């Protein structure tokens, strides 16, 4: 069978039902992540090989509680399941339920049953009840007229059997006469029936419940044409159909069917100590005083880990790229091709990859917390504080991630259901000091305060560092508050979240999550950083007419006059060339604008070159002050310290200038990757442009303020 | 006598849910397992207020004050 005609098996289930474990077991390494068309919801798809050797596509649909969705993730499930024309419309649904929450989870199963799509029910976490063979699962099978099997995503119990069931459902050994269908779980009322029929006339869909669900959601379903929408809308109005009331009525009716069934199925099952264990942990972890303290302690540990563990691989990546660059130059000789390769392409690549260790570690630790169930506790504890600033408890998680890199942080806002709260989180996330600002802070902090301890234990520079981080955090909350006054909300904000039982994270799930995030960063941010890196290389390597040749000549003459060594001479040449290049000219051009901030044209060049990524600042400073490599922090600092304000004896890098520059870097939106991700996640250029403008304005005016107060 | 909601419970206290007010919230609460006639316990309040840790049957959920006040109890 050709690939395009392969059967699709859709995995559906409530959040926390253990869907990803099952998906990973079914597909293993044969999986990838894409996007559902038109929305930024991850689409996880993989291939599973059935016992008979046939391959099927497995689609992991986002977790949802019912066919009445609240978040964009849940809406995707509706888009797919109500549209038989959709390329992802499953031939078979495997529904994953948690045996400990059968009553609540089976609600969605009854809805899927009524949709008329072939169904298998896999009752997950069967290993968590005392006697795994005990639950009367056949009672569910009888009522649903569908195969039911107890499995465990954790231990892999009954996995082969599940695959057999999938195989039997898709490739029946003998063609059976039309299977006797079981009765619908929900008997539609007269009005509902009429509405479903009228909808069916417009959509051409046969299943009565599918039509009812479409009628409920006709205003936003993407696969309906404007004509269909208008027709359904007028049918709804003609019947005086009360959407919400009918939803509640339906849900209650379904529960009244499930409750007696479930009580028979699990009457004798004593859950293992799981609950007890969650209760006891939560007594401490969500405690009034201890809870927040533990939360901040955990975050402190995460940050420590991100910075200290990542240091070695980062150094290794940088040295490797320097080595490869040196070798390339050696192979190709000098000339613009090798310059482009080394200073443009390789530099850009290294700029992307150097962040991978930090992002990897951060997401590893966050995935562990997420998988264990701790994150929803953080949402619960901090919801009230975050709400005062127009944010949501979930924003907390994004803002923490932002401390490593705003790119993955912005991607993680997809779980925020309320559009307004999500946009605000995206807008302020880049204000949190990310790891790319660190090298800049490290280079400049020495000009603000000396490396000294007060009272024997407080490190002054450490204090300034902390101050810069705090400045980022406080300003992000304030800006969020300002945004919340101006952005209109499209829906009511609510908390109402499940606090799942704690469970040990599954290594497999964590591995796939981390892999996915790191890859998303490399691809999304990588493309943009590469392009800008090449563009900046052009700006810094070429100048109008014969500017560059003149600069080289001037440097050579000067080198001979001062009898410099060969290395010193070439460093001097690089510095002069940069000054004469387009970047240098731009730096001079913006000097009048940045002089009130205490900056000169050299800093101007660095501001321009670090527009793509902040950490480029250090490298540019190295070139301007003709220091061979950016590694040589000490020498750059020395040269900067000697620098005088033009036409005077006053030092350029006074504490005021340095502080002004530091504050500039706290606020400025100098990260093309973040802007690109904001564009992608919000779906319009409006938001990245607002982000760029407000952050640049904040940077400019705060630096201006600082320099005017503390400057000469 | 005014109708009591879960907001009237003390930490650790439990009661039976009588009904849910407010149509918009009801749907979501139902799907989270907050069902009429179920036993609800107020486990604890959030550290900075504004949110409640509830346990209904064996489901644990967190709700805001505005949401909790619509969960009426006997």
Q: How far apart are CA A618 and CA A600, in angstroms?
A: 16
Beta strands, E only, chain B: 14-20, 39-45, 51-56, 59-64, 71-73
- Which one has a higher pLDDT value, A575 or A186? A186
Confidence band for A283, pLDDT divided at 50, 70 and 90: very high
* Average pLDDT of every residue of chain A: 87
- The backbone region for A626, taken as left when phi is positive above 0, alpha when psi lies in -120 to 50, beta otherwise, is left
Q: How far apart are CA A515 and CA A509, in angstroms?
A: 10
Cβ contact (<8 Å) for A383 and B59? no
Enumerate chain A positions whose Cβ falls within 8 A of a Cβ in B. Answer: 65-66, 68, 70, 100-101, 103-104, 107, 244-245, 247-248, 251-252, 255, 271, 275, 278, 282, 286-289, 291-292, 376, 379-385, 387, 393, 492, 494-501
Cβ contact (<8 Å) for A494 and B28? yes
End position of a domain, from candidates A399, A432, A465: A432
Residue of A nearest to B48 (CA): A384
Cβ contact (<8 Å) for A288 and B44? yes
Structure token digits, residue A242: 């009360």
Contact list in A for residue B42 (CB cut-off 8 A) is: none
Nearest to A8 by CA among A113, A110, A82, A81: A81
Instruction: Give the pLDDT mean for A599-625.
Output: 83
Q: What range does the domain containing A605 cover?
A: 531-542+581-710
Confidence band for A38, pLDDT divided at 50, 70 and 90: low
Residue of B nearest to A502 (CA): B60
Contact list in B for residue A247 (CB cut-off 8 A) is: 27
In a domain, A455, yes or no: no
Instruction: Give the pLDDT mean for A303-325.
Output: 84
Cα A27 to Cα A48, A98, A197, A265, A517, distances in angstroms: 5, 20, 39, 30, 19
Residue A639 burial (C-beta neighbours within 10 Å; 0-12, 13-18, 19+): middle
**For chains A and B, what is the number of CB pairs under 8 angstroms?**
112
* pLDDT value, residue A543: 86
Residue A679 burial (C-beta neighbours within 10 Å; 0-12, 13-18, 19+): middle
State pLDDT tens for residues A1-14.
Answer: 444 578 999 999 99
Phi, psi of A682 (to 5 degrees): -95, -15
**What percentage of chain A carries pLDDT values higher than 90?**
47
In a domain, A500, yes or no: no
Instruction: Give the pLDDT mean for B48-73.
Output: 93
Packing angle of the helix pair A190-203, A208-216 (nearest 10 deg)? 90
State pLDDT tens for residues A325-338.
Answer: 889 989 988 788 88
Nearest to A82 by CA among A192, A193, A196, A179: A196
For residues A285 and A164, membership in a common domain is answered with: no
Write the residue in B28, B36, B49 that is nearest to A496 by C-beta. B28
- Check which CATH number belongs to the domain holding A116 and give it: 3.40.50.300
Q: Which range has the worst mean pLDDT, A242-256, A316-330, A643-657?
A: A643-657
* pLDDT value, residue A686: 95
From B74's Cα to the closest Cα of chain A, the distance in A is 19
Asked whether residue A179 carries a pLDDT value surpassing 60, the answer given is no
Q: How far apart are CA A299 and CA A302, in angstroms?
A: 5
For residues A410 and A287, membership in a common domain is answered with: yes
Asked whether residue A526 carries a pLDDT value surpassing 80, the answer given is no
Confidence band for A269, pLDDT divided at 50, 70 and 90: low
For residues A278 and A424, membership in a common domain is answered with: yes
Q: Which residue has the tokens 């939560």?
A: A282
For residues A428 and A537, membership in a common domain is answered with: no
Residue A350 near residue A317 (C-beta atoms within 8 A):
yes
Q: How far apart are CA A318 and CA A322, in angstroms?
A: 6
DSSP per-residue letters across A150-188? E--TTT-TTHHHHHHHHHHHHS-SS--S-PPPPPPSSPP
Helix, strand or coil, per DSSP, at residue B4 = coil
For residues A301 and A160, membership in a common domain is answered with: no
- Which one has a higher pLDDT value, A649 or A396? A396
Cβ contact (<8 Å) for B60 and A499? yes
* pLDDT value, residue A152: 92
From B22's Cα to the closest Cα of chain A, the distance in A is 10
DSSP per-residue letters across A460-483? HHHHHHHHHHHHHHHHHHHHHHHH
Cβ contact (<8 Å) for A65 and B25? no
In a domain, A337, yes or no: yes
Instruction: Give the pLDDT mean for A240-264.
Output: 92
Asked whether residue A633 carries a pLDDT value surpassing 80, the answer given is no
State pLDDT tens for residues A424-447.
Answer: 999 999 999 988 888 889 888 888
Beta bridge partners of A122: A96, A149
The DSSP code for A597 is: G
End position of a domain, from candidates A110, A138, A170: A170
Task: Determine how β-strand A148-150 pairs with β-strand A119-124.
Answer: parallel
Contact list in A for residue B22 (CB cut-off 8 A) is: none
* pLDDT value, residue A275: 58
* pLDDT value, residue A1: 44
Contact list in B for residue A70 (CB cut-off 8 A) is: 28
Phi, psi of A119 (to 5 degrees): -135, 140
Q: How far apart are CA A122 and CA A145, in angstroms?
A: 14
End position of a domain, from candidates A432, A455, A488: A432
- Topology given in CATH for the domain delimited by B6-73: SH3 type barrels. (2.30.30)
Packing angle of the helix pair A419-428, A393-402 (nearest 10 deg)? 20
Phi, psi of B19 (to 5 degrees): -160, 170
Structure token digits, residue A666: 């706290």
DSSP per-residue letters across A30-62? -EEEEE-TTS--EEEEEEEE-TTS-EEEEEEPP
Nearest to A361 by CA among A306, A317, A401: A306
* pLDDT value, residue A274: 55
Q: How far apart are CA A23 and CA A417, in angstroms?
A: 24
Asked whether residue A484 carries a pLDDT value surpassing 80, the answer given is yes
Query: What's the length of chain A?
Result: 712
When divided into structural domains, chain A yields a total of: 3
Helix, strand or coil, per DSSP, at residue A375 = helix
Residue A107 near residue A454 (C-beta atoms within 8 A):
no
In a domain, A425, yes or no: yes
B18 near A CB under 8 A: no
In a domain, A9, yes or no: yes
Cβ contact (<8 Å) for A68 and B27? yes
Helix, strand or coil, per DSSP, at residue B54 = strand
Contact list in A for residue B44 (CB cut-off 8 A) is: 286-288
Residue A26 near residue A58 (C-beta atoms within 8 A):
yes
Write the residue in B32, B47, B60 that is nearest to A381 by C-beta. B47
Phi, psi of A206 (to 5 degrees): -85, -45
Q: How many other β-carbons are positioned within 10 Å of the β-carbon of residue A683?
A: 11
State pLDDT tens for residues A413-423.
Answer: 877 878 899 99
Contact list in A for residue B43 (CB cut-off 8 A) is: 282
B48 near A CB under 8 A: yes
Mutate to test the interface with B, among A494, A500, A501, A503 (most CBs of B within 10 A): A494
Residue A171 near residue A54 (C-beta atoms within 8 A):
yes
Q: How far apart are CA A360 and CA A362, in angstroms?
A: 6
Structure token digits, residue B43: 């486990």
State pLDDT tens for residues A212-241.
Answer: 999 999 999 999 999 999 999 999 999 999
Instruction: Give the pLDDT mean for A349-376.
Output: 85
Beta bridge partners of B51: B64
């Amino acid at each position: 069978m050709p690939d395009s005609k392969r059967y699709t098996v859709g995995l559906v289930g409530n959040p926390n039902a253990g869907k990803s474990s099952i998906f990973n077991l079914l597909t293993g390494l044969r999986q990838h992540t894409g996007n559902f068309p038109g929305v930024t919801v991850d689409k996880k798809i993989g291939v599973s090989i059935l016992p008979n050797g046939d391959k099927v596509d497995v689609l992991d649909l986002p977790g949802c509680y019912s066919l009445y969705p609240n978040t964009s993730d849940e809406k995707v499930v509706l888009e797919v399941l109500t549209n038989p024309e959709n390329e992802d419309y499953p031939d078979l649904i495997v529904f994953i339920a948690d045996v400990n929450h059968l009553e609540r989870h089976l609600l969605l199963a009854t809805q899927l049953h009524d949709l008329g799509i072939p169904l298998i029910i896999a009752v997950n976490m069967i290993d968590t009840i005392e006697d795994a063979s005990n639950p009367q699962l056949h009672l569910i099978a009888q009522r649903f007229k569908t195969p039911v099997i107890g499995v465990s995503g954790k231990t892999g119990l009954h996995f082969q059997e599940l695959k057999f069931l999938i195989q039997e459902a898709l490739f029946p050994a003998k063609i059976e006469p039309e299977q006797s269908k079981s009765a619908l779980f929900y008997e539609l009322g007269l009005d509902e029936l009429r509405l479903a029929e009228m909808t069916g006339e417009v959509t051409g869909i046969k299943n009565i419940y599918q039509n009812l669900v479409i009628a409920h959601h006709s205003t936003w379903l993407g696969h309906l044409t404007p004509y269909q929408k208008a027709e359904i809308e007028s049918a709804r109005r003609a019947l005086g159909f009360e959407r919400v009331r009918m939803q509640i009525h339906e849900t209650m009716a379904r529960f009244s069917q499930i409750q007696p069934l479930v009580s028979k199925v699990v009457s004798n099952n004593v859950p293992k100590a799981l609950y007890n264990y969650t209760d006891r942990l939560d007594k401490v972890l969500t405690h009034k005083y201890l809870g927040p303290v533990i939360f901040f302690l955990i975050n402190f540990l995460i940050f420590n880990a991100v910075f200290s563990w990542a240091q070695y691989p980062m150094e290794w990546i940088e040295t490797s790229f320097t080595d490869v660059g040196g070798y390339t130059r050696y192979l190709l000789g000098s000339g613009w091709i090798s310059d482009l390769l080394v200073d443009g392409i390789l530099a850009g690549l290294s700029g992307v990859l150097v962040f991978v260790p930090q992002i990897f570690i951060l997401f590893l630790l966050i995935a562990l917390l997420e998988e264990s169930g701790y994150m929803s506790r953080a949402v619960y504890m901090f919801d009230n504080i975050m709400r005062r600033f127009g944010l949501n408890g979930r924003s907390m998680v994004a803002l923490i991630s932002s401390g490593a890199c705003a790119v993955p942080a912005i991607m993680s806002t997809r779980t925020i259901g309320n559009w307004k709260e999500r946009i605000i989180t995206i807008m302020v996330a880049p204000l949190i000091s990310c790891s790319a600002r660190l090298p800049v802070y490290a280079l400049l902090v020495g000009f603000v305060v000396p490396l000294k301890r007060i009272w024997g234990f407080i490190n002054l520079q450490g204090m300034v560092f902390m101050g810069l981080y705090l400045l980022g955090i406080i300003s992000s909350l304030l800006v969020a508050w300002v945004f919340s006054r101006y952005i209109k909300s499209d829906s009511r904000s609510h908390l109402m979240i499940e606090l799942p039982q704690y469970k040990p994270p599954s290594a497999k799930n964590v591995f796939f999550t981390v892999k996915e995030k790191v890859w998303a960063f490399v691809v999304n941010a990588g493309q943009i950083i590469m392009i800008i890196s090449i563009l900046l290389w052009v700006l810094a390597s070429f100048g109008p007419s014969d500017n560059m040749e003149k600069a080289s000549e001037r440097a050579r003459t000067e080198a001979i006059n001062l009898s410099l060594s060969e290395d010193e001479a070439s460093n001097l040449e690089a510095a002069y060339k940069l000054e004469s290049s387009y970047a240098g000219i731009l730096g001079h051009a913006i000097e009048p604008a940045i002089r009130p901030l205490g900056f000169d044209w050299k800093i101007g060049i660095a501001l321009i070159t670090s527009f793509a990524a902040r950490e480029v600042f250090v490298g540019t400073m190295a070139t301007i002050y003709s220091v061979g490599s950016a590694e040589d922090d000490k020498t750059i600092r020395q040269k900067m310290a000697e620098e005088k304000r033009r036409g005077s004896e006053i030092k350029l890098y006074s504490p005021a200038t340095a502080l002004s520059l530091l504050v500039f870097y706290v606020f400025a939106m100098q990260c093309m990757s973040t802007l690109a991700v904001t564009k992608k996640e919000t779906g319009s250029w409006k938001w990245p442009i607002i982000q760029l403008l407000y952050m640049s304005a904040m940077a400019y005016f705060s630096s201006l303020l600082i320099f005017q107060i503390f400057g000469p | 006598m005014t109708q009591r909601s879960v907001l009237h419970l003390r930490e650790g206290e439990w009661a039976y849910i009588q009904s849910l007010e407010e149509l918009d919230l009801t749907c979501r609460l139902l799907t989270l397992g907050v069902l009429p006639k179920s036993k609800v316990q107020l486990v604890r309040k959030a550290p900075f207020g504004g949110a409640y840790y509830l346990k209904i049957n064996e489901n644990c959920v967190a709700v805001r004050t505005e949401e909790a006040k619509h969960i009426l109890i006997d």
